Structure 1
Amino acid sequence: MSNHARTERLRLAELLTAAGPDAPTLCAGWTTRDLAAHLVLRERRMDAAAGIRLRALAGWTARVQAGLARRPYEELVRMFRSGPPLLSPFALPGADEAANTVEYFVHAEDVRRAGPWEPREVSPAMSAALWRRLPLVARLEAAPRTPVRLGLRSVGQGRIELGPAGGDYVEVIGEPGELVLFAGGRGARAEVEVEGSEEAVEALAKALPLPPGTVGGCR
């Protein structure tokens, strides 16, 4: 059985190593050092990990992450590469694959696409895994933000719809990995096509980034 999370973990670790500690990422305000600290925090500091999602705990999470970021960069990358410790929930059978396949794919692209980048081929098995996880990503990340009815379509996979019913409709088309990046707020660096009225596309772009040149015309 494929372990996509493990594959993406190793790819992300290699990208972090190659980029060094001070490279930009697509995570606003974060360098690669900050991203590495975040990754270590998620699976080794469960007392602080809840603040990633819960605003009330975000201050504590930020302080713990800042402390981790002061460690040697190579140590952070090595800790991440080695996987979750035995007492981490991510060490439970199947947990890493379920929780981290998308996480590590997206963060690898956060590093790779922060500078000049070229398209890369994603395996059919990985694309299928990302498509299976896209509905959850879209409900958590894109659905609360879209002002229009939004369709996410991948040729050969299907279509997901979310957002307010009725009114304007915009369809975003691309490979599963590109749709995951769009739904997660990385649409400005995603290879997607957008179909809808000019007004609807402009409204969507104010809430969720779209590729350059999309707003003001449909394609």
Structure 2
Amino acid sequence: MSRVRRAGDRAGGGRECDEREALAASFAALGPEAPTILPGWDAEDLLEHLVLRESAPHLIVGPRLPGSLGRRAREARESRRDRPWTERVEDFRMGPGPLSFAGRMDRLSGQAELLIHHEDLRRGRCGWQPRRPDAERDRAAWRAVGLMAPLAMRIPADVTLVSPRGGRRLRSRGAEGSLRVHGEPLELLLWVTGRDEVARVRIHGDSGGRRALAAGRRGL
């Protein structure tokens, strides 16, 4: 049985398997020192984050604990980092186990975590270009936009997100203006999570909406 099939069986298959395999291939090709758009993070930091949140979330905060608990957590993370890069990429490619809380949440969210972080890695390099349109990926990204935008956006304006797949309107209580943001589903997903430097979107709005955008925040 191929690695791709095994990863799909473990993590739920379908679109998730495709995006996970694509991200794993990017990690393998670019190496641990590849830059990302995340301040202070290279590919190694990003891969560690993804694997820990799926399989060992206690090691994310554990190293900051005092005493022996913190020391053991730091040692465990260092031991993981000492393993060859190819093995760590393979851990990610295999996906979370069936009891992983992060894995279950990702399937509900349209795989937003994988879609966003793949672009964090891809767009950290000079000369990057958006990926070609893909119906299944666009469907997953648009679903993720609908789920994440109300959580990630705190803008005192009525915002309409417009993509080739349709529109989503987010009303704000006490709105000071309105905005329309146009883009492909994946670009809109990056925009609602605050990745302005790489999200290829077009923003239209009145003066109140523009002020609200500058004063508001996006991201989790």
Q: TM class by shorter-chain length?
A: 0.7 to 0.9
Among residues 108, 120, 132, which one is paired with 1:121 in the alignment?
132
> 1:216 — aligned with what?
none
Cα distance in structure 1, aligned partners of 2:77 and 2:42: 12
Give me the CA root mean square deviation.
3.1
Cα distance in structure 1, aligned partners of 2:86 and 2:172: 42
Cα distance in structure 2, aligned partners of 1:31 and 1:118: 19
Cα distance in structure 1, aligned partners of 2:123 and 2:156: 27
> 1:212 — aligned with what?
none
Q: Is the 8 A contact 2:33 2:43 kept in 1?
A: yes
> 1:193 — aligned with what?
202
Change (3 A) 1:99 1:19: same
Cα distance in structure 2, aligned partners of 1:38 and 1:123: 26
Cα distance in structure 2, aligned partners of 1:195 and 1:64: 50
> 1:85 — aligned with what?
97
SS at match of 1:189: coil
Change (3 A) 1:171 1:96: closer
Cα distance in structure 2, aligned partners of 1:100 and 1:48: 25
Q: Is the 8 A contact 2:176 2:212 kept in 1?
A: no
Q: Is the 8 A contact 2:50 2:92 kept in 1?
A: yes
Cα distance in structure 1, aligned partners of 2:165 and 2:57: 39
Change (3 A) 1:34 1:81: same
> 1:154 — aligned with what?
163
Structure 2: runs of 5 or more not aligned: 1-11
- How far is 1:109 from its partner? 0.6
SS at match of 2:196: helix
Point out the more displaced range, 157-166 or 13-22: 157-166
TM-score, reference length from structure 2: 0.75
Identity of aligned pairs, percent?
35
Q: Aligned pairs, how many?
A: 199
Point out the more displaced range, 103-112 or 21-30: 21-30
Q: Is the 8 A contact 2:163 2:184 kept in 1?
A: yes
